[in-house]
């Protein structure tokens, strides 16, 4: 399996995709418009407006009794690499995209089935789950313990029961293929996913001027030290790169929304080219380049947004495909300091807005 590289398009914002879709849907039909959108941006059109959905996983996912020890033994007995634990929920737009797009690709399905058994879990579920150490959990408690702030999340375990890699949130097919190969070929044992991607597809080196800009981004120099000088506002750091389809969508969809922009005025907001030598004083007070800081943080996806509190501690990051409602929810979580009471974003969100359908009690 060879990892494909994304097609090249301009890094400057084009027509706003939501308006573009709405206009041409009247003329061409929704299916054709969505196909054109997905071809242009190399990722699916996702409307994450809260609503009822009925996301179902493929029938080739394993019918498991949720004893992960047995599941791993079964996988090893059939000469597979290991298991993948999938964390999802019925009404998740990003889970829907994973099933509709990624798991509709024949090569992804064949490769995944060949090397893994996929164990589905519901982050709101009450069924008992036994982890690889023999500890019993409810599905819901296991999801919280594993830090699944965003669905879908996938954790890859190798033949020895060691965590090889995790993906939190939705990634388009080309990135998903790369993750599969990164794990199966054993690269996870000696390099980070960021290093693997950079080596397989060396990123371009462009100046910060090549990025999409916003009026709320602070100009350099970037002195972000909060260890000695606590700030009065939280910090949001946008790690982006040139020629980035997902960055274009971030700027033309959620960041063009008036409410989102108003909320971000309550932050110190900085944009960095994740591959640049731009000097930065980090929130912990160290002098580094943007590239070295991104590497230290393990950032491999553009755009990634990392949120820090007034004292420089990381609160949460968004390092996968994000649309309007998820981004606004995370920003609100940081602004209201919801993380102080509920350190899991998914749980906090449900206490604020209520689920589409109430989860079972445990």
Kindly report, residue by residue over 98-119, the tens digit of the pLDDT: 999 999 999 999 999 999 999 9
pLDDT for 1 equals: 47
Banded pLDDT at 204 (limits 50, 70, 90): low
Banded pLDDT at 31 (limits 50, 70, 90): very low
C-alpha distances (whole Å) from 333 to each of 10, 26, 239, 358 are 33, 37, 20, 20
Share of the chain above pLDDT 90, in %: 75
Residue where the block lists tokens 């020629």: 243
Specify the range with the lowest mean pLDDT, choosing from 21-25, 29-33, 311-315, 346-350.
21-25
C-alpha distances (whole Å) from 12 to each of 16, 45, 134, 191, 222 are 12, 19, 51, 32, 23
Taking only the tens place, the pLDDT of each residue in 234-290 is 999 999 998 888 999 999 999 999 999 999 999 999 999 999 999 999 999 999 999
The secondary element (H helix, E strand) that includes residue 76 is helix 68-77
CATH class (in words) of the domain with range 208-353: alpha beta
Q: What is the longest distance spanned by two Cα atoms in the chain?
A: 58
Query: What is the rounded average pLDDT of the residues 319-335?
Result: 96
Rounded Cα–Cα distance for residues 179 and 176 (Å): 5
Integer-rounded Cα radius of gyration of the chain: 20
Could you tell me which residues are beta bridge partners of residue 85? 119, 155
Ordered by start, the domain boundaries in the chain are 12-41, 68-200, 208-353
Q: In Å, how far from its chain's centre is CA 135?
A: 28
Q: Model pTM?
A: 0.85
Higher pLDDT, 2 or 129: 129
68-200 and 208-353, same CATH topology? yes
Share of the chain above pLDDT 70, in %: 83
Q: For the domain made up of 68-200, give the CATH fold.
A: Glutaredoxin (3.40.30)
Taking only the tens place, the pLDDT of each residue in 142-198 is 999 999 989 999 999 999 999 999 999 999 999 999 999 999 999 999 999 999 998
Work out the number of other CB atoms within 10 angstroms of the CB of residue 115. 20
Banded pLDDT at 73 (limits 50, 70, 90): very high
Taking only the tens place, the pLDDT of each residue in 208-241 is 447 899 999 999 999 999 999 889 999 999 999 9
């Amino acid at each position: 399996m060879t990892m494909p590289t994304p097609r090249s398009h301009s890094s400057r914002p084009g027509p706003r995709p939501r308006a573009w879709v709405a206009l041409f849907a009247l003329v061409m039909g929704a299916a054709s418009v969505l196909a054109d959108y997905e071809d242009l941006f190399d990722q699916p059109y996702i409307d994450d407006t809260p609503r009822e959905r009925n996301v179902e996983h493929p029938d080739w996912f394993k019918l498991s009794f949720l004893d992960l020890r047995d599941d791993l033994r079964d996988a090893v007995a059939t000469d597979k690499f290991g298991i993948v634990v999938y964390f999802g929920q019925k009404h998740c737009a990003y889970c829907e995209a994973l099933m509709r797009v990624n798991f509709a690709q024949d090569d992804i399905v064949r490769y995944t089935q060949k090397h893994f058994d996929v164990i589905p879990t519901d982050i709101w579920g009450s069924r008992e789950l036994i982890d690889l150490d023999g500890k019993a959990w409810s599905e819901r408690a296991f999801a919280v313990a594993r830090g699944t702030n965003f669905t879908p999340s996938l954790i890859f375990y190798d033949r020895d029961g060691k965590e090889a890699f995790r993906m939190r949130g939705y990634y388009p097919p080309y990135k998903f293929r790369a993750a599969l190969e990164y794990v199966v070929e054993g690269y996870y044992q000696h390099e980070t996913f960021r290093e693997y991607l950079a080596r397989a597809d060396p990123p371009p080196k462009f100046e910060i001027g090549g990025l999409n800009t916003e009026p709320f981004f602070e100009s350099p120099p970037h002195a972000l030290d909060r260890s000695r000088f606590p700030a009065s506002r939280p910090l949001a750091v946008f790690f982006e790169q040139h020629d980035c389809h997902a960055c274009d969508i971030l700027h033309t969809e959620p960041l063009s929304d008036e409410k989102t922009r108003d909320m971000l005025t309550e932050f110190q907001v900085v944009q960095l080219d994740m591959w640049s030598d731009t000097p930065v004083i980090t929130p912990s007070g160290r002098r580094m380049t943007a590239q070295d800081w991104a590497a230290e943080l393990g950032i491999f996806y553009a755009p990634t947004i990392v949120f820090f509190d007034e004292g420089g501690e990381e609160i949460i990051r968004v390092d996968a495909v994000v649309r309007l409602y998820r981004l606004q929810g995370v920003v609100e979580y940081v602004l209201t300091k919801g993380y102080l009471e509920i350190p899991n974003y998914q749980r906090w969100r449900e206490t604020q807005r209520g689920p589409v359908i109430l989860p079972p009690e445990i």
